[in-house]
Structure 1
Amino acid sequence: MAELQLKSRRFRAEREADWRRLERLLEKAEARGPSKLSKDELLAMPVLYRQALSSLSVARAISLDQSLISYLESLCTRAYFFVYGTRTRLGERLAAFFLHDWPAAVRDLWRPTVVSTLLMVVGAVVAFVLVRADPDWFNAFVDPQMSQGRDPTTSAAGLRETLYARPDAKDGLSVFATFLFTHNAQVALFAFALGFALCLPTAGLMVFNGAVLGAMLAVFARHGLGFELGGWLLVHGATELFAIAIAGGAGLSIGWAVVFPGARSRIDAAAETGRRAATAMAGVVVMLLVAGLLEGFARQLLRADLVRYAIALITGLAWTAYFYWPRRARR
């Protein structure tokens, strides 16, 4: 035992100066950033790291005391992330996300996104046909709290007033936008989160979401206000529905990976697909925020139908170009 302690002290005495120098450089870089290191210090860092790594290998081989091995393991781990780790600033990371990561994730999900969109269209068409044939179907698709007085019993004048009423600024349009953003975010998150259950809950949610729109459109169309309702909805819906379709596509992709994992295990397939889908979902939150602002402000302040449709067209084309316009692959 005494021989081992002597060997450990001699080993430390011969190399400790280099370990301490490496530790000081790491503390300086961690506290003030790598840019504060001089040129000589930057060049010395990988040399000191390799020396510490060699010392750790020797210490393990000759079974020196555990405290020394633990110290060297911690030191080498810190140095490894400095020497070989990728260091990006917050601004650079955000730029990479918006310029590359998010659009790439959405492009990879284009097939399930198309399926999600078609499911909403089917739900809208079915609900529209049913409500036009029998208005009593309306309550099966739209909750009274959601309709807010826009139902088959409302007169044409009452429906028109809901489309063009200008709220008092004191009512707090920002509060209204926040409420709608929260509601739409819940729909999108449920569509994503429920996808693992073999796609069925997500598919059902997409159909039901479309059915709500179809039922509302049928009520307004009975009074000749279908075109006006389209502008009222699409000024924010071009962004909102696109976001929900992407969220539904993300959920469907995870469910599909669980059902058909291929050569991978179901857990591995779901995890791999889930990482890509999660990147797309992070951007969906941004889209829903934009939709909430358009709903709470632009739609209420801009009452001309053609202006509303113009904004819907511009935002729809902008999102489509942003996601699917060909671009150079990221290095």
Structure 2
Amino acid sequence: MREVAFIKQNKEKWLSFETAIFNNDFKDPDELASQYIHLINDLSYAQTYYPKSKVITYLNQLAAKAFQKIYKTKREDTNRIVEFWKTEVPLIVYEYRKYIYLAFAIFTLFTAIGAISAANDGEFVRSILGDQYVDMTLENIENGNPVAVYKSGSNWGSFIGITINNLRVGIISFVLGVFGGLGTVWVLFKNCIMLGSFQYFFYEKEVFWESVRGIWIHGSMEIFAIVIEAGAGLILGASILFPGTHSRFTSFKQGAKTGVKILISTFPFTFFAGFLEGFITRYSQEMPKFLSVGIILITLGAISYYYLIYPFLVRKRIQNQMLTFSPVLA
């Protein structure tokens, strides 16, 4: 059979199966398993007779999504909440990793723009941060504690206020993704310009490392989480702009569901960052350097591992299970 005829013969079946997978429209797990077997047969046929065809990539991806659905419908003793962070979120992050990478690229670009702008315009930092904040920081630098601002307020008050604000920023960043991702980019732009100019300000005053030891104790998780939330917003925007084979509304629902899961996954990191800012950062200048640097490396390493490394490990584990279940999925 010619490839065109093969695709034409099975196209409707594949699209129907794909729609059912995305919409959770399988009431009977046995039906899902049966459809999966048919899909595997088609994939095997395509690999044999059309080894260089793009249809193999499509069927592989569809088979992977179907396997995840079967895997999730199995009765397990594992706590659902634990499974959400242990398996479901990492698989989603892996599948949509290009949006996470894009968010990091945008973050890097905008932060660099903020720093370069501050370097070339003496009044830029004041226009971004405000005269009052800049004057207060200058006074703190003269007093030998560049990040003394984090000592203001009570521990609990700072923790609660900061955490609520960071959650608000993350949620707004995601929701504004509904405007084709432009709203998310705008939120990221404002925060990155502020971050870049803020850090350059300390560099210019020759207290850069002192600021790093203070700000990034909580900033590692706080900023990283904001970037991940921006990635979720970009997923939402892309679901509207690029619906693919689905209707725009169906694609939007899938994008919103996926994005919300990624957004929720950042909340524990945001809470912990708020705790660090409220209870630990204020003592950064008094604590030993190795301790402040250690906290930064541990927090940055933990969140980086979860979103940038762990998804590949989970994907590999699932793929190995897929190979055991069906050897044609190479």
Secondary structure of the equivalent of 1:263? coil
Letter in structure 2 aligned against 1:259: L
The CA deviation string for residues 20-72 of structure 1, in whole angstroms up to 9 with x for no partner, is xxxxxxxxxxxxxxxxxxxxxxxxxxxxxxxxxxxxxxxxxxxxxxxxxxxxx
What does residue 317 of structure 1 align with? 301
Task: Tell me how far apart the structure 1 counterparts of residues 150 and 198 of structure 2 sit (CA, whole Å).
Answer: 21
CA offsets per residue over residues 292-325 of structure 1, 9 Å max, x none? 0111112123434442222111112122223332
Corresponding residue to 1:329 among 318, 327, 330: 318
Question: Residues 163 and 270 of structure 2 are in contact (CA less than 8 Å); yes or no, is this contact kept in structure 1?
Answer: yes
Match of 2:145 among 146, 156, 161: 161
Q: Using the aligned pairs only, state the percent identity.
A: 20
CA deviation after TM superposition for structure 1 residue 287, in Å: 1.3
- Report the alpha carbon displacement of residue 104 of structure 1 after superposing the two structures with TM: 2.4
CA distance in structure 2 between the aligned counterparts of 1:135 and 1:266, rounded to whole angstroms: 47
CA distance in 2, matches of 1:227, 1:162: 10
1:182 to 144, 164, 167: 164
Alignment of 1:261-272 (within 5 A): 261-272=243-254
Q: Please show how residues 33-182 of structure 1 align to structure 2 within 5 Å.
A: 92-143=79-130, 147=133, 149-150=135-136, 154=139, 156-158=141-143, 160-163=144-147, 167=151, 171-182=153-164
Structure 1 111/318 Cα, relative in aligned 2: closer, same or farther at 3 Å? same
* Higher CA-based Rg: 1
- 3-state SS, counterpart of residue 253 of structure 1: helix
Unaligned runs of at least 5 residues, structure 1:
1-84
The aligned counterpart of 2:177 is 195
Deviation at 1:155, TM superposition (A): 6.9
Given residue 255 of structure 1, which amino acid in structure 2 is its aligned partner?
Answer: G
Alignment of 1:244-255 (within 5 A): 244-255=226-237
Query: Aligned in 2, Cα 1:144/1:295: closer, same or farther, shift over 3 Å?
Result: farther
Which residue of the other structure, out of 302, 307, 315, is the alignment partner of 2:291? 307
Tell me whether 92-101 or 319-328 shows the greater mean CA deviation: 319-328
Structure 1: which 4+ aligned runs deviate by more than 3 Å?
Answer: 85-89, 147-151, 153-156, 164-168
Aligned-partner SS, 1:161: coil
Give the direction of change, closer, same or farther, for the CA distance of 1:108–1:241 in structure 2 (3 Å limit): farther
Contact 1:228 1:305 in 2 (8 A): no
Unpaired runs of at least 5, structure 2? 1-72, 322-330
- Aligned positions, number: 241
Match of 2:217 among 216, 235, 238: 235
Contact 2:111/2:195 (<8 A) preserved: yes
**CA-to-aligned-CA distance 1:147-206 (integer Å, 9 cap, x gap):** 47555x647314x424257849xx520110111111111111111000010111111211
Number of the residue aligned with 1:55: none
The Cα of 1:135 is off from its aligned counterpart by 2.3
2:117 is aligned with what amino acid? L
User: For 2:150 and 2:237, how far apart are their aligned partners in 1?
Assistant: 43
8 Å contact from structure 2 (residues 221, 299) kept in 1: yes
